[in-house]
Amino acid sequence: MRIFISAGEASGDLYASRVVETLRARHPDAEFFGCAGPRMQTAGVRAIVDSRSIAVVGLVEVVAHIPRIWLKFRKLVRAAAEGKPDLAVLTDSPDFHLRLAKKLKKLGIPVVYLIAPQAWAWREGRVRTLRNTVDRLLCIFPFEEEFFNARGVRTSYVGHPLARIVRPSMSRAEFFDKIGLDEGRRLMVLLPGSRHGEVERHIPVLFEAVRLIRKRQDVDFLLCLPPGFDAERQTFWEPARAASIQVKEGLTWDGLAHAHLALAASGTVTIEAALLGTPLVTFYRVNALSWLLGRRLVRAPFLSMVNLVGGRRIAPELIQDEMTGERIAAEAIRLLEDADTRAEMRSGLAQVAALLASRDDPMETAAGWIEKVSSESKNVVHAG
């Protein structure tokens, strides 16, 4: 089995790496190549392109990066054409991968798309592309299967991959020893995002919130970043040290599991917080023009995934102009000071976690569909 596989950001890199591990256990001789982040590369994917080089968010922010992303895109298309894979697995990042799916379709390469684009929330026009280019869409939220199947996209719900794998790797004592903080003190974890652009936009506001929180509460702070972020080379490194904010890479789940409260960028990490039962304040900010253009297309009542899955406002979400140091600090202080509010939020997070649970391992189910699509495509070729 020879598979072209691609992911464009940290969460997709995690999910795709788990699929690779599952398939490799079933097919030890399988080959994987494509657009891979650090986890996929560790799992044995030959990186034609490093996924961190295409991870950009925002309708306007991406413009400056288009020439570089286009070169990476063409490099991947050439690799797929020359490598002649049995099929392709594209993970999340719809702006990039739906364009890639069109090219792969023209090359006659079957496509399995893992992590459905949020067409139910905005840009429903993507449904047509999915219908025309994707052989099987694998979704991770239960309500998505009916939405896409009703619109002619061959879709299967596999369950949320994180529901089975999110857990701390260390005991509380081990964790606090590793980060050099007092286990007996309250800890607040800062999660500004996985992409460099997100972190650059969010960090100044988070640091202002830290300053304001410290005026009212005696709390320690830990800034968690994804593996390979190279924090020591970033502009926020010295300000973080000056503010006595610990900075660590690759400790997000442990940080969430052992923190009193999280300040988290809206995204996958809010689901991780729900699975670990950690109260949180969510936020997000993009370029002003991106917000103006994109907000008009959004039909969803919430922008944080934890609230979307829960169907109500479980965690505060401070988006765009509402994302200020003062607002974040006020919400954080309210949660720190009010045990009943924290307990109510934990109850809501537990409900979200229950909704995301599945009977079977999502990655085993996904691997099964990949095998099925590969087998069906070979049968079609042989029949022809």
Please write the tens of the pLDDT for every residue from 185-236: 999 999 999 888 889 999 999 999 999 999 999 999 999 998 878 888 888 8
CA 326 to CA 312: how far, in whole Å?
A: 24
What pLDDT is recorded for position 276?
97
Q: What is the pLDDT of residue 58?
A: 47
Evaluate if residue 336 carries a pLDDT over 90: yes
Strand order in the sheet with 280-284: 246-249, 220-225, 187-191, 261-265, 280-284, 317-319
**Torsion 336-345-320-232 (CA) sign:** positive
Alpha-carbon radius of gyration of the chain: 21
Measured in degrees and rounded to the nearest 5, phi and psi for residue 206 equal -65, -40
Place of tokens 């702006």: 95
With CA atoms as reference, report the closest residue to 66 among 39, 42, 89, 95: 95
pLDDT above 90 covers a percentage of the chain that reads 74
The string of pLDDT tens digits covering residues 260-270 is: 999 999 988 99
Whether the Cβ atoms of residue 161 and residue 18 lie closer than 8 Å to each other: yes
Token code pair at residue 315: 């965690």
Please state, in angstroms and rounded to a whole number, the distance separating the CA atoms of residues 140 and 119: 14
Tell whether the model's pLDDT for residue 47 goes beyond 70: yes
Q: Please state, in angstroms and rounded to a whole number, the distance separating the CA atoms of residues 206 and 239.
A: 12
357 is written with which tokens?
A: 């649970």
| CATH for 172-356 (1.10.10.10, 3.40.50.2000, 3.30.1490.100, 3.60.21.10) | 3.40.50.2000
Mean pLDDT of 262-290: 90
User: How confident is the model at residue 297, as a pLDDT?
Assistant: 60
Question: Residue type for 153, please?
Answer: V
Pairwise CA distance, residues 219 & 198, whole Å = 25
Mean pLDDT of the chain: 91
Q: What confidence tier does 60 reach under pLDDT thresholds 50, 70, 90?
A: very low
Q: What was the pLDDT predicted at 64? A: 58
Q: Which of 122-126, 201-205, 243-247, 361-365 has the lowest mean pLDDT?
A: 122-126
- The reported pLDDT for the residue numbered 209 is 98
CB contact burial 309-322 (16+ within 10 A = b; e otherwise): bbeeebbbbbbbee
**Residue 339 one-letter amino acid:** A
pLDDT > 70: percent of the chain = 92
* 3-class secondary structure, 172: helix
Q: Give the distance between the most distant pair of CA atoms in the chain.
A: 73
Q: Are 257 and 224 in contact (CB under 8 A)?
A: no
Q: What is the reported pLDDT for 59?
A: 45
The tokens for 333 are: 């202080």
Residue partners of 123: CB distance under 8 A and separation at least 6 = 117, 297
- Where does 142-243 have alpha helices with state H? 142-149, 162-165, 172-179, 196-216, 237-242
**Contact predicate 61/49, CB 8 Å:** no
Residue 142 has pLDDT above 90, yes or no: no
Q: For residue 156, how many C-alpha atoms fall within 13 Å in the half-sphere facing its CB?
A: 17
Confidence at residue 125, expressed as pLDDT on a 0 to 100 scale: 87
| Of 54 and 384, the one with more pLDDT | 54
Indicate the fold that domain 2-159+359-383 takes in CATH: Rossmann fold (3.40.50)
pLDDT for 168 equals 96
Kindly report, as residue ranges, where domains of CATH 3.40.50.2000 are found in the chain: 2-159+359-383, 172-356
Residue 122 DSSP class: B
pLDDT of residue 308: 87
Q: In the structure encoding, which two tokens stand for residue 212, read together? A: 């304001």
Range list of β-strands (E), the chain: 2-7, 31-36, 46-50, 87-91, 111-114, 136-139, 155-157, 187-191, 220-225, 246-249, 261-265, 280-284, 317-319
CA dihedral of residues 26, 41, 7, 203 (deg, nearest 10): 140
Confidence (pLDDT) at 54: 79
pLDDT for the residue 293:
61
Backbone angles phi, psi at 291, to 5 degrees: -65, -45
* Residue 382: per-residue pLDDT: 47
